[in-house]
Amino acid sequence: MAVRDIIKLPDKRLRLVSEPIKHIDGDIRALVDDMFETMYKAPGIGLAAIQIGIPKRVIILDLSKKEGDHKPQVFINAEVTWASSEKSKYEEGCLSIPEYYEEVERPAEVKVKYLDLDGKAHETEVKGLLATCLQHEIDHINGVLFIDYISKLKRDRVIKKFSKAAKKVEE
Ligand code: NI
């Protein structure tokens, strides 16, 4: 297992549409292990493979609050199959846009189809924080970021801020 670098705004790879997983093999399991190690170290509650530069449809979550009480969840090839018309708002953040938070409105409940790490198919209906986090991560594998839902003014401002920071690192 290894902690990988998390790519950050304005890295263009964050806009890639990730490829579906055809076979869940040792490489995918190793990728998932690295993703958990990377996410726990950050720390964060969700991570998509593209955030460590791997354009594959792999998502992990762990919404458990307590240290040492991990509840790891893996979603392979996840897609939203139904969304409620009822909306809910959460203040969202993203490991690829560190220390930036904005309120985002999304469907309050969604149905999500995915494979687990054993390749077993599931379809589950989720709400609350889990619904928001899953939608945020599924957006990542489709090249969408939570800042796409905020005003253009705010979005331009945050992109500019991170572009400046990235330039400074290069210099
Ligand atoms: Ni994110």
CA 46 to ligand 1 center in whole angstroms: 7
Predicted confidence band of residue 69 (pLDDT cuts 50, 70, 90): confident
CA 147 to ligand 1 center in whole angstroms: 10
Structural domain count of the chain: 1
* Inside any domain, residue 4: no
* Inside any domain, residue 40: yes
Computed over every residue of the chain, the mean pLDDT equals 96
* Inside any domain, residue 3: no
State the pLDDT at residue 171.
Answer: 72
Which structural domain range is residue 91 located in?
12-170
Catalytic residue chosen out of the listed positions 79, 102, 137, 170 = 137
Predicted confidence band of residue 123 (pLDDT cuts 50, 70, 90): very high
CA 90 to ligand 1 center in whole angstroms: 13
* Inside any domain, residue 140: yes
- Report pTM: 0.96
* Inside any domain, residue 2: no
Of the listed ranges 61-70, 111-120, 144-153, the least confidently predicted one is: 61-70
CA 146 to ligand 1 center in whole angstroms: 7
What tokens were used for 91?
């203040």
Q: What is the CATH number of the domain that holds 67?
A: 3.90.45.10
Among left, alpha and beta (phi > 0; psi -120 to 50; other), residue 77 is left
Instruction: Compute the residue count for the chain.
Output: 171
Would you say residue 2 has pLDDT above 90?
A: yes
* Inside any domain, residue 5: no
> What residues are neighbours of ligand 1 (ion), with CB under 5 Å?
94
CA nearest neighbour of 162 among 8, 4, 5, 6: 8
State the pLDDT at residue 50.
Answer: 98
* Inside any domain, residue 152: yes
Residue-wise DSSP of 84-151: -S-EEEEEEEETTEEEEEEEEEEESEEEEEEE-TT--EEEEEEEHHHHHHHHHHHHHHTT--GGGGS-
CA 2 to ligand 1 center in whole angstroms: 20
Please compute the mean of the pLDDT values over residues 85-108 and round it to a whole number: 97
* Inside any domain, residue 7: no
Annotation marks residue 137 as catalytic: yes
CA nearest neighbour of 63 among 131, 111, 144, 138: 131
Would you say residue 66 has pLDDT above 90?
A: no
What tokens were used for 97?
């846009």
The pLDDT tens digits of the residues spanning 13-38 come to 999 999 999 999 999 999 999 999 99
